Amino acid sequence: MNFKKICVIGLGYIGLPTAATFAAQGIKVLGADINARVIDTLNKGEIHIHEPGLREAVSKAVEMGNFRAATKPEAADAFIIAVPTPFQENKFGEYNGVKYKLADMRAVTSAAEAILPFLQKGNLVILESTSPPRTTIDLVKPILEKSGLKAGEDFYLCYSPERVLPGQILRELVENARVIGGVTPESAKAGKALYSIFVKGEIIETDATTAEMVKLMENTYRDVNIAIANEFSRLADKFGVDVWEAISIANLHPRVKILTPGPGVGGHCISVDPWFFVEAAPELTPLIYHSRQVNDAQPQFVAELIKRALDSLAGKKIAALGLAYKPDVDDMRESPANEVVRLLQNAGAIVTAYEPFKPDTVSLNDALQDADAIVLLVKHTEFVNFNPAEIAKKTKTRIVIDTVNAWNNEAWKNAGFEVLRLGANKEGRG
């Protein structure tokens, strides 16, 4: 196929890097997004999200005339849907008395409907948004076929999930393996032809529902494994064991690889995708459901740890370091750090949060100045590199709570701090 123009719908953490990567190969790309402020920003060659290298890529694409943004799609050879699929607010499914979260697919529906006026024979449509199984066939396909064209016959339709790490997106888009799930084998081949423009990793062809399940399996596997690590941190706290030491020893076993615990699981993938399996088949997913329950409850465990360090939370001033869902990114979607802050505030604490990737938060000095405790919630490189002696000059408190195992205990103790770490309370609570 000859792709002269591509339309990418949704210009967030995946859509924008994808659009910029295609544009870098000389393809004309229209980016469509309903946020007019985002459109204005991008057309000036600037960006609205943080991702290393992205500003330069977008600026160059705009300057070369290969990328522009608009609030509506236009006719193109290929359409890529990369819109959010969050949870429905205040609405849950229920099975045998157990409630579970439901996917909000309105953005996918709207994007498919927006393509309808421009869909022509020979076009390719790809859904990238993470979705419950059978979304491509049961939701997107019927919408597009309202055009009178048949998917797999008159136009090609695929599902191809992103599989990239924030902070490494531009590199991993190119280097990682890519799965293309077509509603027909011919659709999968068309999808492969499109991504072959820039993908250097292996491109695997399969059917649409298998591709959807692959994406959910990848993140559910990680979620379940994080859940057991988080449970280990609670058990270690109860039995007076340093969970970090125990994990490092257990991982010496050649067939064991325990992940690291933390304040919870966040982001728009691992904390969301497992629920799509539960929604699609609640009767078959008790392990997935309970793993989600464990990880969603971890912020509460952290809040209790902080309360233990301070005896109480009411009126206590706490400096919270980090609000992003993972280190060295600005993405705060489903962030457990935010949930910890909310729980502390609900308990009466006065929380001042410093997030280095969000310039609109308070400064580090302001957060530390009058704090009764310092709580490390995200393993940003800036925080890892703190000099405890220098921090001691900026704050009156001598209590630090490290929830991500980023700091050297002895260095902080030598600077006069009392250190409490997640899953490393040697006194125990049992």
Provide the CATH number for the domain around residue 302: 3.40.50.720
Residue 182 lies in a domain: yes
Q: Is 135's pLDDT higher than 80?
A: yes
Residue 29: pLDDT band with limits 50, 70, 90: very high
Q: pLDDT at position 351, please?
A: 97
Q: Is 30's pLDDT higher than 50?
A: yes
Residue 1: pLDDT band with limits 50, 70, 90: confident
Q: Is 428's pLDDT higher than 80?
A: no
Verify that 204 and 246 share a domain, yes or no. no
Verify that 121 and 63 share a domain, yes or no. yes
Q: Can you give the pTM of this predicted structure?
A: 0.90
Helix, strand or coil, per DSSP, at residue 428: coil
Q: Which one of 153, 186, 208 terminates a domain? A: 208
Long-range contacts of 105-113 (CB under 8 A, 24+ apart): 105/131, 105/132, 105/135, 105/139, 107/10, 107/83, 108/81, 108/83, 108/135, 108/139, 108/140, 109/139, 109/143, 110/83, 111/9, 111/10, 111/81, 111/83, 112/81, 112/139, 112/140, 112/143, 112/144, 113/143
Q: pLDDT at position 167, please?
A: 86
Verify that 184 and 300 share a domain, yes or no. no
Residue 222 lies in a domain: no
Q: pLDDT at position 268, please?
A: 80
Phi, psi of 387 (to 5 degrees): -95, 110
Verify that 203 and 265 share a domain, yes or no. no
The mean per-residue pLDDT over the stretch 39-55 comes to 94
Residue 392 lies in a domain: yes
Verify that 13 and 94 share a domain, yes or no. yes
Residue 215 lies in a domain: no
| 269 catalytic residue (yes or no) | yes
Spatial separation of the C-alpha atoms in residues 410 and 51, rounded to whole Å: 34
For the chain, how many structural domains are there in total? 2
Q: Rounded to whole angstroms, what are the CA distances from 147 to 36, 91, 109?
A: 27, 32, 15
Residue 387 lies in a domain: yes
Residue 169 lies in a domain: yes
Residue 425: pLDDT band with limits 50, 70, 90: confident
Give the mean pLDDT of the chain: 95
Q: pLDDT at position 333, please?
A: 87
Q: Percentage of the chain with pLDDT > 70? A: 99
Verify that 72 and 136 share a domain, yes or no. yes
The mean per-residue pLDDT over the stretch 401-406 comes to 97
Q: Which one of 156, 189, 208 terminates a domain? A: 208
Token look-up 């985002």 returns 38
Q: Which domain holds residue 299?
A: 241-421
| 215 catalytic residue (yes or no) | yes
Q: Is 137's pLDDT higher than 60?
A: yes
Verify that 203 and 266 share a domain, yes or no. no
Residue 426: pLDDT band with limits 50, 70, 90: low
Q: Is 406's pLDDT higher than 90?
A: yes
Residue 426 lies in a domain: no
Verify that 286 and 346 share a domain, yes or no. yes
The mean per-residue pLDDT over the stretch 269-298 comes to 95
Verify that 278 and 338 share a domain, yes or no. yes
Q: pLDDT at position 98, please?
A: 85
Q: Which one of 187, 208, 229 terminates a domain? A: 208
Residue 87: pLDDT band with limits 50, 70, 90: confident
Residue 430: pLDDT band with limits 50, 70, 90: very low
Residue 26 lies in a domain: yes
Verify that 248 and 193 share a domain, yes or no. no
The mean per-residue pLDDT over the stretch 328-346 comes to 94
The mean per-residue pLDDT over the stretch 118-141 comes to 97
The mean per-residue pLDDT over the stretch 336-362 comes to 94
Verify that 396 and 299 share a domain, yes or no. yes
> Which member of 28, 141, 158, 269 is catalytic?
269
CB 210 within 8 A of CB 235: no
Residues with Cβ within 8 Å of residue 315, at least 6 apart in sequence: 348, 349, 350
Helix, strand or coil, per DSSP, at residue 158: strand
Verify that 301 and 364 share a domain, yes or no. yes
> Which member of 192, 215, 316, 379 is catalytic?
215
351-372, pLDDT tens digit by residue? 999 999 988 879 999 999 999 9
